[in-house]
Structure 1
Amino acid sequence: MKILVCIKQVPDMESRFKVNGEGTWYEDSDLAWRMNEYDEYAVEQAVQLQSQGGGAEITVLSIGPDRVKEAMKKALAMGADKGLHIQDDSSHKRDPWEIATMIANFARNEGFDLIFTGMQSQDRGSAQVGILVAQMLGIPAVSTVVSFHYDGGTVTVKRELEGGTKAVVKVPTPALFTCQLGLNTPRYPTLPNIMKAKKKELTSIPAAQVLSEPAAVVSTRALFVPQKKGGARVLEGEVSVLVTQLVGILKEKTGLVK
Structure 2
Amino acid sequence: MKILVCIKQVPDMESRFRVSSSGNWLEESDLAFRLNEYDEYAVEQAVQLKEQLGDIPEITVLSIGPDRVGESIRKALAMGCDRGVHIRDPESSRKDPWQIASLIASFAGDKEFDLILTGMQSQDRGSAQVGIMVSEILGYPCASTLVGFSYDNGIISARRELEGGTKAVVRLRTPAVVTCQLGLNVPRYPTLPNIMKAKKKEILSVPVADFSVVDGHATTLRLYQPAKKGGGLVIEGEVNDLADRLVGILKQKTMVLR
Give the TM-score normalised by structure 2.
0.90
Aligned-pair RMSD on alpha carbons? 2.2
Structure 1 residues 1-258: aligned runs within 5 Å: 1-53=1-53, 55-212=56-213, 214=215, 216-230=216-230, 246=250, 249-250=253-254
Residues 66, 90 of structure 2: 8 Å contact kept: yes
> How many angstroms apart in 1 are the aligned matches of 2:233 and 2:62?
50
Shift of 1:199: 1.2
> How many angstroms apart in 2 are the aligned matches of 1:129 and 1:53?
28
TM superposition outliers: structure 1 runs of 4+ over 4 Å = 229-249
Shift of 1:157: 1.4
Shift of 1:249: 4.5
Q: Deviations over 1:159-193 (max 9, x none)?
A: 01122221111111111110010111111111111
Q: 1:92 to 1:243 in 2, by over 3 A?
A: same
Residues 98, 211 of structure 1: 8 Å contact kept: no
Return 5+ residue gaps in structure 1 as ranges.
none
Q: How much identity, in percent, do the aligned residues show?
A: 63
Shift of 1:201: 1.0
Shift of 1:227: 2.3
Give the counterpart letter for 1:186 in structure 2. P
> How many angstroms apart in 1 are the aligned matches of 2:234 and 2:77?
52
Q: 1:249 to 1:234 in 2, by over 3 A?
A: farther
Return 5+ residue gaps in structure 2 as ranges.
none
Residues 235, 242 of structure 2: 8 Å contact kept: no
State how many pairs are aligned.
Answer: 253
> How many angstroms apart in 2 are the aligned matches of 1:104 and 1:170?
22
Give the counterpart letter for 2:224 in structure 1. F
Q: Deviations over 1:115-162 (max 9, x none)?
A: 100000001100000000000000111001011100011011110112
SS at match of 2:104: helix
Residues 10, 123 of structure 2: 8 Å contact kept: yes
